[in-house]
């Protein structure tokens, strides 16, 4: 998910909120507890751990021993626990309510997954233990790989990428290596204008020239424009499917034929795999390589920004170029290929991948099974279309349905009243909902991309539809002043992002001592 | 299916409202040939108990490092993580939230990121830290790419004391961007002098502190040599606990410090997820990769935090971004932040002192074993020993006796037969005297 420049809130406009109660003595407001920084709470002599005195030894650290104190505050455990609990209470979460961030697949995170990842046999094994002592871990990686290969219909998978963007890098590097191997180094990568920012950023990181492809009126890639851009110097196209407007690229087979026709490869951004899992195989769509965000489709928690995991599946022509390390079946069980990878393009991460995420993903896969995963895709698509239908009479989707797992609206119906997409988002906060993804993709003005996922009940979807209907109706009724005050019920009100960027304060510093009065 | 709230009644009612005859109809944009009518050849759904049994059986086929004497390091370290850490990071509001794009309802995440950035900058002795990278190795590669942007040069020098996997990740990630990489030979004895490889075309020099083989060196002179040539000094730290006892790299004149933060708050996890730390001097902040959290005020003038300087990032800048990173290691950063908050400055220093003292005791014990010699004159909590025969088979033999003896250098330098007798050994605060005796006993019989 992303926010674009035009979506960036600037300086908050209106700071008076009618009917707000007088400030309290403490600054707290009921369950909303104000919380200073840890640096403002420390006291010398306090600590949250009891450590024994170090054994007395003559140190062997040479000349670079630390001599100045470590300026970090001391807090006791109860204070630390209270601090982080109070902070947590200022966060929205999928555990609390629907989280309709388009492109982010905020589904329920099963707690069984957490429990499994914490088994000492997974959580407490070292990446460089002798291979004989980690056979279960390698078997687990191999099993996750098997599920991913089966679900994608692709013959190979690289497990090491740390997240989706890292997976994009993995895919493009394999493509580059494949071209170089046949003495056919190429220069350009085609990226639709609707692509997520990581796609062009990744192509640039691989030293490719990024060439944009426009969308057609139906929100899909413009096939004629694409064909016009094709040539012998095109290494790949990076296409998201379902795309970032929530639509299936219905000419995808033609796209695949066209790119293959000039000797290029088809990279698919698999961030939206949730719509297809268990039902449609990317391998049947002419795709050569695709990353799969385990932290989207396979429910590993987002953790406020990460960690994720971004395994990448490969077609047969790209498979030999997959990076090190990878699990192989040896004569005495599983082995790890860490060196001499033949045509492997290199190494992407210090160790073997996001094992903690693999365990969670496998718990999720096994819980759902082939039947449950298929149901996941169906329910996800059903829920998004239900929201599309639920908004009838109030707002039309940007592109006619059916949509896939997410539905796109825009600001065309209320723009003239002075209300913005950002205002709608902030008003949703007051309704108790996390906003949808806004101002992404860039090709749609005032975009609102809604992805409910399959883990919402009908009742929950109905409530969201009701709230959104009410807000859009109000927006069309020109209540722009009311919108600008939103959010009114969040722990803080709109924040001054312009100031944050103009005078960056990126760390706490001790308060300057006050000038002594003359 | 326990995770799917919709019932068949709901589904048909919803289809009715949509006006679609069937679910199939909603997939009508998918080419017919690609619509799979049958279930895939995978197991069917299973209850918690069955799934738990399956995964527990796999877990049981591994030896947990904590269940045996373990001396493995080489970029991943076993430490004691206070109970409060794992409890707090599992709070729903931290675990199940997305990246804080809507700051009004993400102040919890944003405030801890601000605290985390401050902690990381403080212990490294640097001006600013970002909100995390995937791991230490990718942070290292990003640092090299950043040095390329800052200096507009394309030649990089990697120390022979840099973790070989970090070296490989740097080579992979910079390879297609047109860099030339000079890699110094494995610096087993901690004596390398890189001065001769630095000139006016050098973008950066990357060293590790303490080095891969465990040596602790002061890089102040190297930093001056870099400065004289307009090159940046990048210091990579794979054991962040060392900075509780060692001079911060920032004090030696490092321009960029990257680190693996796993040691604080995070388990071994077979290599991931880990926590890449990334810090730099203020003057380079606009060239930094990744998210940055900054302080600001809300409409009422109240202090709050937002993601900032986003014009560096892919979602705004696209192909001109400083990095392609999006999802990072947020929750690992939280674990780090809570652990370090519990420790405080004094506790962090004490933890480091215990680590060092245990390593010194271990080194002294191992030196007493016939056929074993400690190579390092300096080290923090990890050092290299020479055995009388190749280390890998000995490590295998000891593993069969449930002792994880360390990392044979041959595991990461397979091409260097002359290093086959070397073993990298680490001790931390969890290493007991009994563990040390077990290793000494094992090596006495094994070498
Ligand atoms: C369409 C799309 N592509 C790529 C990505 C990047 O994935 P990640 O954040 O896992 O690096 C995202 C995630 O936000 C996305 O929505």
Residue-wise pLDDT for A480-505, tens only, equals 888 999 999 999 999 999 999 999 99
* Neighbouring residues of B106: CB distance < 8 A, sequence distance ≥ 6: A90, A91, A92, A304, B97, B100
Residue spans per domain, chain A: 113-365, 371-494
Spell out the residues 6+ positions from residue B228 whose beta carbon is closer than 8 angstroms to its own: none
What pLDDT score does A512 carry? Answer: 82
Whether the pLDDT of residue A16 is over 50: the answer is no
| Bridge partner residues of B306 (DSSP) | B294
Regions of chain B where pLDDT drops below 50: none
Whether A369 and B31 lie within 8 Å, measured CB to CB: no
Which residue has tokens 């271990």? B362
**pLDDT band of A3, cuts 50, 70, 90:** very low
pLDDT tens sequence across A429-451: 999 999 999 999 999 999 999 99
Rounded to the nearest integer, the mean pLDDT of chain A is: 94
Which of A1-5, A85-89, A289-293, B125-129 bottoms out in mean pLDDT, i.e. has the lowest? A1-5
pLDDT for A23: 84
The burial of B149, by beta-carbon neighbours within 10 Å (0-12 exposed, 13-18 middle, 19 or more buried), is given as middle
Task: Give me the pLDDT at residue A15, please.
Answer: 46
pLDDT average, residue stretch A334-362: 96
Residue A513's pLDDT is 76
Mean pLDDT confidence for A400-411: 97
**pLDDT class of A384 with cuts at 50, 70, 90:** very high
The pLDDT of residue B175 = 86
pLDDT tens per residue across span A193-234 = 999 999 999 999 999 999 999 999 999 999 999 999 999 999
Provide the b/e sequence for B93-128 (b: ≥16 CB within 10 Å): bbbbbbbbbbbbbbbbbbbbbbbbbbbbbbbbbbbb
Confidence band of A518 (pLDDT split at 50, 70, 90): very low
Mutate to test the pocket of ligand 1, among A100, A102, A162, A165 (most ligand atoms within 8 A of CB): A165
Is residue A10 over pLDDT 60?
Answer: no
What per-residue string of b and e applies to A198-220 under the rule 16 or more CB within 10 Å gives b? bbbbbbbbbebebbebebeeebb
- From A461's Cα to the closest Cα of chain B, the distance in A is 11
Kindly tell me the burial class for residue A518, based on how many C-beta atoms sit within 10 Å of its own C-beta (0-12, 13-18, 19 or more): exposed
Least CB–CB distance from A127: residue in B54, B129, B270: B270
Confidence grade of residue A20 (pLDDT, cut at 50, 70, 90): low
What's the CA-to-centroid distance between B141 and ligand 1, angstroms?
Answer: 20
Does the domain at residues A113-365 carry the CATH identifier 3.40.920.10? no
Collect all residues of chain B within an 8 Å Cβ-Cβ radius of residue A93. 92-97
The per-residue pLDDT for A480 is 86
What confidence score (pLDDT) does residue A9 get?
A: 46
CA distance B143 to B126: 14
Statement: residue A21 has pLDDT above 90:
no
**Chain B closest CA to A443's CA: distance in Å?**
13
Confidence band, pLDDT 50/70/90 cuts, at residue A11: low
Which residue among A69, A285, A351 sits closest to B272, beta carbon to beta carbon?
Answer: A351
Q: Among B35, B57, B121, whose Cβ lies nearest the Cβ of A280?
A: B35
- What's the CATH architecture for A371-494? Alpha-Beta Complex (3.90)
Provide the pLDDT for residue A13. Answer: 52
| Domains of chain B with bracketed CATH | 65-79+344-446 (3.90.1150.10), 83-340 (3.40.640.10)
| Contact between A234 and A190 (Cβ < 8 Å) | yes
Which tens digit of pLDDT belongs to each residue from B305-329?
Answer: 999 999 899 998 999 999 999 999 9
d(CA B23, CA B299): 46
- Angstrom distances, CA of residue A370 to CA of A152, A296, A375, B36, B39: 12, 18, 9, 12, 6
Ligand 1, atom 10, residue with closest C-alpha: A164
Strand partners, A32: A29
Record the tokens describing residue A340, joined without a space. 């001499």
- Cβ(B326) – ligand 1 distance below 6 Å: yes
Q: Whose CA is nearest to atom 9 of ligand 1?
A: B327
Summarised one tens digit per residue, pLDDT across range A263-286 is 999 999 999 999 999 999 999 999
Name the nearest CA neighbour of A348 among B303, B139, B110, B429. Answer: B139
Q: What is the pLDDT of residue B94?
A: 98
> What is the predicted pLDDT for the residue at A120?
98
Q: How far is A518 from chain B (nearest CA, A)?
A: 30
Q: What is the pLDDT of residue B447?
A: 56
Question: ipTM beyond 0.90?
Answer: yes
From the list A325, A312, A334, the residue with the least C-alpha distance to A352 is: A325
* pLDDT of A5: 43
DSSP assignment of B254-287, as one string? -SEEEEE-TTTT---GGG-S--EEEEE-GGGGGG
The pLDDT, as a whole number, for residue A8 is 47
A241 lines ligand 1 (CB under 6 A): no
The secondary structure of B298-326 as a DSSP string is BTTS-EEEEEE-GGGSHHHHGGGSS----
Global pTM exceeds 0.95: yes
- pLDDT per residue over A239-264, tens digit each? 999 999 999 999 999 999 999 999 99
- d(C-alpha B215, C-alpha A179), whole Å: 42
């Amino acid at each position: 998910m992303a926010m674009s420049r035009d979506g960036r809130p600037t300086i908050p406009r209106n700071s008076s909120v009618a009917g707000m109660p007088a400030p309290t003595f403490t600054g707290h407001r009921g369950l909303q507890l104000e919380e200073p920084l840890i640096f403002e709470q420390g006291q010398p002599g306090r600590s949250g751990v009891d450590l024994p005195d170090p054994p007395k030894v003559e140190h062997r650290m040479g000349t670079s021993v630390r001599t100045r104190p470590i300026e970090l505050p001391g807090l006791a455990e109860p204070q630390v626990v209270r601090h982080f609990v109070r902070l947590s209470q200022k966060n929205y979460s999928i555990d609390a309510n629907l989280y309709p961030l388009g492109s982010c697949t905020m589904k329920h995170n099963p707690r069984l997954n957490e429990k499994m990842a914490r088994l000492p046999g997974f959580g407490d094994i070292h990446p460089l233990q002798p291979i004989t002592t980690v056979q279960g871990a390698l078997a687990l990686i191999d099993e996750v790989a098997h599920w991913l290969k089966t679900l994608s219909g692709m013959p190979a998978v690289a497990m090491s990428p740390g997240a989706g963007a890292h997976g994009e890098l993995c895919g493009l590097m394999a493509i580059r290596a494949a071209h170089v191997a046949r003495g056919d180094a190429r220069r350009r990568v085609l990226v639709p204008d609707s692509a997520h920012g990581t796609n062009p950023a990744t192509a640039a990181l691989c030293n490719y020239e990024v060439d944009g492809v426009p969308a057609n009126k139906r929100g899909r890639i413009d096939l004629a424009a694409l064909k016009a851009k094709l040539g012998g110097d095109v290494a790949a196209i990076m296409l998201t499917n379902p795309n970032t407007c929530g639509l299936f690229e219905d000419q995808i087979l033609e796209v695949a034929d066209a790119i293959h026709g000039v000797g290029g490869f088809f990279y698919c951004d698999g961030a939206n795999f949730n719509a297809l899992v268990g039902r449609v195989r990317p391998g049947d769509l002419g795709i050569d390589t695709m990353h799969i965000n385990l932290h989207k489709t396979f429910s590993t928690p987002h953790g406020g920004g990460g960690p994720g995991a971004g395994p990448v599946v490969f077609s047969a022509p790209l498979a030999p170029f997959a990076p090190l390390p990878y699990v192989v079946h040896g004569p005495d069980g599983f082995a790890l290929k860490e060196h001499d990878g033949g045509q492997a393009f290199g190494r992407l991460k210090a160790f073997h991948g996001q094992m903690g995420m693999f365990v969670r993903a496998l718990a999720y896969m096994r819980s759902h099974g082939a039947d449950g995963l298929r149901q996941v895709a169906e329910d996800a698509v059903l829920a998004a279309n239900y929201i599309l239908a639920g908004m009838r009479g109030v707002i039309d989707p940007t592109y006619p349905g059916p949509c896939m797992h997410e539905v796109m609206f825009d600001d065309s119906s209320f723009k003239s009243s002075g209300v913005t997409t950002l205002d709608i988002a902030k008003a949703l906060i007051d309704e108790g909902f996390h906003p949808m993804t806004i101002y992404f993709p860039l090709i749609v003005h005032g975009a609102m991309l809604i992805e409910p996922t399959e883990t919402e009940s009908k009742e929950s979807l109905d409530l969201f539809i009701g709230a959104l209907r009410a807000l859009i109706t109000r927006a069309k009724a020109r209540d722009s002043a009311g919108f600008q005050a939103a959010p009114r019920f969040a722990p803080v009100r709109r924040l001054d992002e312009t100031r944050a960027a103009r005078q960056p304060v990126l760390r706490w510093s001790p308060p300057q001592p006050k000038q002594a009065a003359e | 299916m326990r995770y799917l709230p919709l019932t068949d009644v709901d589904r048909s009612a919803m289809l009715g409202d949509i006006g679609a005859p069937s679910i199939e109809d909603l997939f009508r944009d998918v080419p017919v040939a690609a619509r799979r009518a049958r279930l895939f050849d995978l197991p069917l759904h299973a209850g918690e108990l069955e799934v738990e049994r399956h995964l527990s059986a796999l877990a049981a086929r591994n030896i947990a490092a904590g269940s045996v004497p373990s001396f493995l390091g080489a970029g991943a370290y076993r430490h004691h993580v206070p109970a409060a850490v794992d409890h707090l990071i599992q709070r729903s509001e931290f675990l199940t939230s997305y990246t804080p794009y809507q700051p009004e309802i993400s102040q919890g995440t944003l405030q801890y990121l601000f605290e985390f950035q401050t902690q990381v900058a403080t212990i490294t002795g640097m001006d600013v830290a970002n909100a995390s990278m995937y791991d230490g190795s990718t942070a290292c590669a990003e640092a090299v790419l950043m040095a390329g942007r800052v200096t507009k040069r394309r030649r990089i020098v990697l120390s022979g004391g840099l973790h070989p996997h970090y070296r490989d990740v740097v080579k992979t990630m910079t390879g297609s961007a047109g860099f030339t990489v000079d890699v110094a030979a494995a610096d087993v004895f901690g004596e390398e002098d890189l001065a001769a490889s630095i000139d006016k075309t050098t973008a950066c020099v990357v060293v590790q502190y303490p080095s891969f083989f465990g040596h602790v060196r002061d890089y102040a002179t190297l930093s001056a040599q870099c400065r004289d040539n307009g090159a940046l000094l990048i210091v990579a730290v794979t054991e962040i606990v060392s900075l509780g006892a060692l001079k911060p790299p920032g004090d030696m004149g490092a321009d960029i410090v990257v680190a693996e933060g796993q040691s604080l708050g995070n388990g071994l996890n077979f290599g991931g997820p880990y926590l890449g730390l990334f810090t730099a001097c203020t003057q380079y902040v606009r060239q930094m990769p990744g998210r940055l959290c900054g302080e600001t005020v809300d409409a009422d003038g109240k202090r709050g935090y937002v993601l900032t300087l986003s014009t560096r990032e892919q979602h705004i800048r696209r192909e001109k971004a400083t990095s392609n990173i999006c999802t990072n290691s947020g929750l690992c950063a939280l674990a780090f932040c809570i652990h370090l908050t519990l420790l405080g400055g004094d506790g962090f220093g004490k933890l480091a002192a215990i680590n060092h003292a245990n390593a010194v005791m271990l080194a002294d014990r191992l030196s007493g074993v016939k056929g074993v010699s400690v190579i390092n004159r300096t080290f923090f909590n990890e050092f290299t020993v020479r055995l009388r025969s190749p280390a890998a088979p000995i490590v295998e033999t000891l593993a069969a006796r449930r002792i994880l003896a360390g990392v044979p250098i041959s595991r990461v330098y397979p091409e260097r037969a002359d290093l086959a007798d070397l073993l990298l050994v680490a001790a931390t605060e969890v290493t007991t005297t009994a563990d040390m005796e077990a290793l000494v006993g094992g090596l006495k019989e094994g070498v």
